[in-house]
Amino acid sequence: MYSQAEENYLKTIYNLENRYGSDVSTNLIASKTNTKASSVTDMLKKLSAKNLVQYRKYQGVHLTELGRKGALKVIRKHRLWESFLVQKLNFKWDEVHDIAEQLEHVKSEVLIDKLDAFLKFPKLDPHGDPIPDAHGRTILNKTVVISEMKIGSAGVFVGVRDSSSEFLQYLNKKNLALGDRIKVIDIEPFDGSYHIETRTHRLVITNSVADNLCLKNVK
Amino acid sequence: MYSQAEENYLKTIYNLENRYGSDVSTNLIASKTNTKASSVTDMLKKLSAKNLVQYRKYQGVHLTELGRKGALKVIRKHRLWESFLVQKLNFKWDEVHDIAEQLEHVKSEVLIDKLDAFLKFPKLDPHGDPIPDAHGRTILNKTVVISEMKIGSAGVFVGVRDSSSEFLQYLNKKNLALGDRIKVIDIEPFDGSYHIETRTHRLVITNSVADNLCLKNVK
DNA sequence: TAAATAATTTAGATATAACTAAAAAAATAT
DNA sequence: ATATTTTTTTAGTTATATCTAAATTATTTA
Ligand SMILES: [Mn+2]
Ligand SMILES: [Mn+2]
Ligand SMILES: [Mn+2]
Ligand SMILES: [Mn+2]
């Protein structure tokens, strides 16, 4: 099927399309994958030749239907393995991403379907991200990031946009966990920082942190 | 740490040393890995430069202590993943080897130790092979292959030397499973084939099959 | 709109891990 | 002991996925 590098690009492009709109630039991909723009150009040509992306020189790329399907398979594998690591092997949510980056490239449809069944077909991974089923379908998980909320509004913390161990360890340190009710107390106009409140404590977070916390049932 | 290719060579050399004695030839490695002798020579030089093997031109190789430790880690991972696939995901013993060939290259000591604990520290994999513990130690598992047995002797079938799906499916078809008591009824001098008997049936196996079935408590 | 700047692509290089074909060394046979 | 055969190594090539530096195209600024 696809090489590891190809799978990583599919996943990255899929995620970037969702975050930043449907035409993804070379530099954006390069920065998210810690590679150089020239390397990205090379790979985009290859993906284009395989009909996985629509690519026009200098115009950015987006996934084709085939590419989207490929991306969803990789994402399904990644999130199921993360769920396995947390639920069955007792890893913490901040420890699983890098291991799942490796496990997601293991090739076997049967394996991943059996893993899905073993985990009782989870709908969300340990970071609150929806897990595509065997057909690539996910539940829709409508959330609002804190940076889009108004003063006085509140919701339930159900997901993160960044699941790097660095960010998650920061959240651990600040005693913020999935399921917490969070209320926006104040927004500092000077630097865009947020004063927020949980049931147990108050704290200040920067705008870039606020940009990565997803809340549900925001009112 | 080591690349996938390097890990595969370590594992192969370790297994060949045990089967055929301590100096392993280039061609033997090439045939077991489905590569060409010239490729093997290239890799042996690389492994030698990393102090993983002792290599002298035209004289074959053997693992150094460092290489042996590396090999045991790969084998530990392979066999633990095979055990997981059979015990937790309900794979059959003939379906797990190729998937484990991929999983064995996932890099994380913590992962494999947690997997070991999750499986309750199994001592043998689904093919009867001993699983090295975190320190590289295995139980000693003294077995005799049928091709070394005399007429009239019998034992318990506890392991296979070949765990390819082809061979295991052959055993399934012939209704031979681990735990079966097997008795040697006759040896055909003409072609070296074995007439054997289990509690439920009799059958004839070729010498090459007899060479791959390991029995315990042979009397 | 022309110049400056930024983004992207091309050209050429590197590392890994394969390969084929030819050369060299070792083992076997005459 | 020499010739033949087999095994192993060397030399040179290929594919993948990266890189740097230079060239090209697009965008922004003046
Ligand atoms: Mn992740
Ligand atoms: Mn996740
Ligand atoms: Mn195996
Ligand atoms: Mn096995």
What pLDDT digit, counting tens, does each position of A153-176 carry? 999 999 999 999 999 999 999 999
B102 vs A contacts (CB less than 8 Å): 105-108
Specify whether the CB–CB gap between A76 and A132 falls below 8 A. yes
Q: Which residue has the higher pLDDT, B48 or B217?
A: B48
Output A58-65 pairs: Cβ under 8 A, ≥24 positions apart: A59/A23, A60/A23, A60/A24, A60/A25, A60/A26, A61/A13, A61/A23, A61/A24, A61/A29, A62/A13, A62/A17, A62/A22, A62/A23, A62/A24, A63/A10, A63/A13, A63/A14, A63/A17
Q: Which nucleotides of D are covered by protein (CB under 7 A)?
A: 7-12, 16-22, 25-26
CA–CA gap between residue B115 and residue A96 (Å, rounded): 14
**CATH, range A144-216:** 2.30.30.90
Whether B124 has a pLDDT exceeding 90, the answer reads yes
* Class of domain B4-63 (CATH, top level): mainly alpha
Q: Where residue B19 falls among pLDDT bands split at 50, 70, 90?
A: very high
Q: State the span(s) of chain A assigned CATH 2.30.30.90.
A: 144-216
pLDDT grade, residue B149 (50/70/90)? very high
Instruction: Report pTM.
Output: 0.94
Question: What local confidence, expressed as pLDDT, does residue B141 receive?
Answer: 85
Decide: CB of A60 under 7 A of nucleic strand C: yes
Which amino acid is residue B53, in one-letter code?
Answer: V
A154, A216 contact by CB (below 8 A) = no
Protein CA at B40 to nucleotide C1' at C12, angstroms: 30
pLDDT at A151: 95
> For residue A190, is pLDDT > 90?
no
| Of residues A85, A106, A110, nearest to B102 (C-beta) | A106
What's the mean per-residue pLDDT of chain B? 96
Q: Which of B122, B126, B174 is nearest to B146 (CA)?
A: B174
CA nearest to B103 within chain A: A106
pLDDT band per the 50, 70, 90 thresholds, residue A1: confident
Note the pLDDT of residue B80.
Answer: 98
pLDDT band at B217 (very low <50, low <70, confident <90, very high): confident
Average pLDDT of the segment spanning B47-52: 97
Residues of A in contact with B114 (CB under 8 A): 89-91
DSSP state of A132: P
CA distances from A175 to A30, A169, A178, A200, B76 (A): 33, 10, 10, 9, 38
Residues A54 and B95: their CA atoms lie apart, in Å, by 38
- In which band, very low, low, confident or very high, does the pLDDT at A193 lie, cut at 50, 70 and 90? very high
* Confidence category of residue A141, pLDDT binned at 50, 70, 90: confident
Neighbours of A214 (CB within 10 A): 23
**Distance from residue B58 (CA) to nucleotide D3 (C1'), in Å?**
21
Distance in angstroms (rounded) separating the CA atoms of residues B55 and B64: 10
- Retrieve residue B137's tokens: 């130690």
* Tokens 């947020």 sit on residue: A194
pLDDT tens, position by position, A36-89: 999 999 999 999 999 999 999 999 999 999 999 999 999 999 999 999 999 999
Which residue of B97, B111, B112, B113 to mutate against A (max A Cβ within 10 Å)?
B111
Task: Give yes or no for residue A106 having a pLDDT over 90.
Answer: yes
- Asked if B115 lies within 8 A of A89 by C-beta distance, the reply is yes
Ligand lying nearest the CA atom of residue B11: 3
Q: Cα dist. B111→A90, A92, A111, B108 in Å? A: 10, 12, 18, 5
Domain A77-140 has CATH 1.10.10.10: yes
Q: Are B156 and B122 within 8 A, CB to CB?
A: no
Percentage of residues in chain B having pLDDT higher than 90? 93
Residues of chain A with CATH 1.10.10.10: 4-63, 77-140
| Beta strands in chain A, from DSSP E residues, in sequence order | 53-55, 61-63, 144-145, 154-160, 181-187, 194-197, 202-205, 213-216
* Confidence class for position A218, pLDDT limits 50, 70, 90: confident
Give the model's confidence band at A219: pLDDT under 50 very low, under 70 low, under 90 confident, else very high.
confident
Please give the helix or strand (H or E) that residue B130 lies within, else none: none
What mean pLDDT do residues B117-127 have?
98
Give the pLDDT score at B106: 98
Cα–Cα distance measured from residue A88 to residue A103, given in angstroms and rounded to the nearest whole number: 15
